[in-house]
Amino acid sequence: MKFTSQSDYDKLEAVLIKPVRNAFVSDTLLENQWRSLHFLKQPDYKTSLKEYADFEMILQSQGIEIQYLPLQEELSIDSIYCRDASIATDFGMIICNMGKADRNLEPAAQRAYFEEHDILVLGEISAPGTLEGGDVAWLDKNTLAVGHTYRTNPSGIEQLKSLLEPRGVQIVVVELPHYKGTSDVFHLMSIFSPVAEDLAVVYSPLMPIAFRKELIRRGFDLVEVPDNEFENMACNVLALGSRKCLMMRGNPVTEQSLLQKGCEVFCYKGEHISLLGGGGPTCMTRPLQRSYL
């Protein structure tokens, strides 16, 4: 068995999460923040706790080591989407610099956690560069796709290249469209989730032609998300292992397509913890280590 941090689809061994109790905290905090952070509406705290408990139980059922980010009062409710503040590599964590200004304290908070728990930090993205973890996905252990979006800018991408290209990692830049504009959460992983070395869930209408062709050239089979399931976050799928998928409930066409490709599919109810804040299962997890044969 080998281990790597440079994968988004091998068997998940260790993951960092920020549970509802430490992120949403209370109905009062949710009421104070949901509008300014562009949630669709206010999540209900008690319902969020139940949804998150079911989500966490699925992770526990797979024997995954779960680490927990603590409550930090200076952070917003968006901190539940902990993937965005860092990137995991075999050389250490890369600390991001958020494109959403309301989240600019999250990377330092994660860095403090990593240092406290003796997790190596490789480097960090600094202004004027911005980079968010939802905009990066490993195509293989030596190739990292990064989206150029309103959350991740050219300076951030160049800094990422300077950290990883000398270490043998190829960076594939994906130019994403305007879509709903600057206030919307639209990351690379909003339209692309690799779930095996040769299988990915995609939403092709918003995917650049060059990137889609590159995926096919690399041998990826594409599970196409239908229009009516895209807004329900059907394209945001967390691989618990190769062809072992965790997705939000209520996307029957995409779920059936994954089953037909030989995948095992776990679903959770995520109206309050995912849909309202625009953060699916990949967003709510920062994978730290995966294993492969």
- pLDDT tens-place string over residues 242-266: 999 999 999 999 999 999 999 999 9
**Mean pLDDT of all residues in 191-207:** 98
Mean pLDDT of 151-157: 97
Q: Residue 258: in which H helix or E strand, if any?
A: helix 252-260
> Which H/E stretch holds residue 47?
helix 45-61
Q: Which amino acid is at 150?
A: Y
Question: What pLDDT is attached to residue 45?
Answer: 98
Residue 182 has pLDDT above 90, yes or no: no
Strand-pair category, 221-224 with 199-202: parallel
pLDDT in tens, 29-41: 999 999 999 999 9
Q: What pLDDT shows up at residue 267?
A: 98
147: nearest Cα among 193, 105, 89, 106: 193
Tally of CA atoms within 13 A in the half-sphere of 17 that contains its CB: 22
pTM score, two decimals?
A: 0.96
Residue range 115-134, pLDDT digits in tens: 999 999 999 999 999 999 99
Mean pLDDT score, 233-250:
98
Q: Is the pLDDT of residue 183 over 80?
A: no
Strands in 143-148's sheet, in edge-to-edge order, are 136-140, 143-148, 170-175
> 2-292: which CATH architecture?
5-stranded Propeller (3.75)
